[in-house]
Amino acid sequence: MLQLPFIRENKDTVLAGLRKRHFANADAIIEQVLTLDQQRRDTQRDLDDTLAQSNAKAKEIGALMKAGNKAAAESAKAETADLKVRSKNLDDALKTAEQQLQDLLVTIPNIPHSSVPEGRTADDNEVVLEHGDIPTLHADAQPHWDLIKKYDIIDFELGVKISGAGFPVYKGKGARIQRALINFFLDEALAAGYVEVQPPIVVNEESGFGTGQLPDKEGQMYYVTEDKLYLIPTAEVPITNLYRDVIVAESQLPICNVGYTPCFRREAGSWGAHVRGLNRLHQFDKVEIVRIERPENSYAALEGMSLHVQSLLQKLELPYRVLRLCGGDMGFTSALTYDMEVWSAAQGRWLEVSSVSNFETYQANRLKLRAKIEGKTQLLHTLNGSALALPRILASILENNQTPDGIRIPKVLVPYCGFDVIN
């Protein structure tokens, strides 16, 4: 959530950032925020003055009573009663203005970093780099949704029977390669200095609000009605919320966590090859890295996180590219996002497998996540990234490494899998 003083003091910068995002009605909304903010401050000042007058009258009544001037004391009491009514009305007006302001602020997305390119859609994202050679497949190469049936390693029909569409069952070597990928990603993160946590996979409303999933993505999350809990769309939510309402010691920074969780998303369900097979699921596995940084270090940390994800893709021998997302394609809470996409040889297209983002103080303001640095309490910067999400990684491994004799397993995974080919 944007900070009010920042909006107040940097109106033109905020409006320029919101226009880069193509945020509708930016001018009107920011003007409404500033109007409500002024109303809130004026009401607070009036309330403070009224309370001061009431306190002064209370002292005056005591002095009058002590002096035996009952008539003047009674008159002062009547004035005090009027002041109490006015105080109550002002307090109610202040709470209303604060709530209206809060309700409006949570609808405003983060301001893009200056390096974010202009653009409305994914077609306008900037290609930062490409790495690796595009594989040439044999004449009878198949997309992964056919390969998994051929080798009987993933069963979508069983998943439909048990749960519904978008909940696959991994079997045999399919299950083992899933476990291998998870352990490989975790081990690589630990070697890079991240501390592993295993968080809950359901969160309360406060946690969803803290990282910005609520109220923005409420319809995309599974909701447990009786318990008022949400199944997590990503481990970002519970891991970052470990530090909600916390004043971090300066010596703890930077905080670097990694966690594996299943993830649940309701938005899958459109039709076409782009969502076929493993391309989009309701439930999937993901390893997430989260960092909490001093503001001056966060963009260097973001570059480091991008390089970490790239190193995983290089070790998996997957051709990939890095995109800097344009203003219109960024997530609601992000200030700058890099997407990593791998090449799917049988589908002939790029598949997103990771987003690495810096949220600056946007999440920290919602979370009340601060640190006392050099005697001053200040908001920190939060960052996260997929390192990595499994479904499309597995789809690309299966497609890119298929041969007439089976599917070759990347060398780095063989010690984790216990086999080097699926046949």
Which residues line the annotated binding site for ATP? 265-267, 352-355
Q: How is residue 118 written in tokens? A: 């202009």
Beta strands in 81-157 (DSSP E): 126-131, 154-155
Q: Give which of 102, 82, 123 is closest to 2, Cα–Cα.
A: 102
**Whole-angstrom distance, CA of residue 80 vs CA of residue 51:** 10
Q: How is residue 111 written in tokens? A: 């301001």
Strands 247-248 and 370-373: parallel
Cα-based distances in Å from 196 to 75, 191, 258, 272: 68, 11, 5, 37
Beta strands in 46-156 (DSSP E): 126-131, 154-155
Contact present, 360 and 369 (Cβ < 8 Å): no
How many CB atoms within 10 Å of residue 118? 13
**Whole-angstrom distance, CA of residue 362 vs CA of residue 209:** 11
Q: How is residue 137 written in tokens? A: 């497949």
DSSP string, 2-40: --HHHHHH-HHHHHHHHHHTT-TTHHHHHHHHHHHHHHH
Query: Which residues sit in the known binding site for L-serine?
Result: 234, 265, 288, 384
**Whole-angstrom distance, CA of residue 163 vs CA of residue 56:** 68
Q: Give which of 220, 230, 385 is closest to 301, Cα–Cα.
A: 385
Locus of tokens 């390089």: 307
Contact present, 365 and 335 (Cβ < 8 Å): no
Cα-based distances in Å from 130 to 107, 232, 248, 322: 35, 32, 38, 6
**Whole-angstrom distance, CA of residue 255 vs CA of residue 412:** 28
Around 43, how many Cα atoms within 13 Å sit in the side-chain half-sphere? 19
Beta-ladder partners of 413: none
Q: Give which of 419, 262, 392, 258 is closest to 318, Cα–Cα.
A: 392
Query: Which residues sit in the known binding site?
Result: 234, 265-267, 288, 352-355, 384
Identity (one letter) of the amino acid at 108? I
The DSSP element (H or E) to which 378 belongs, if any, is strand 376-379
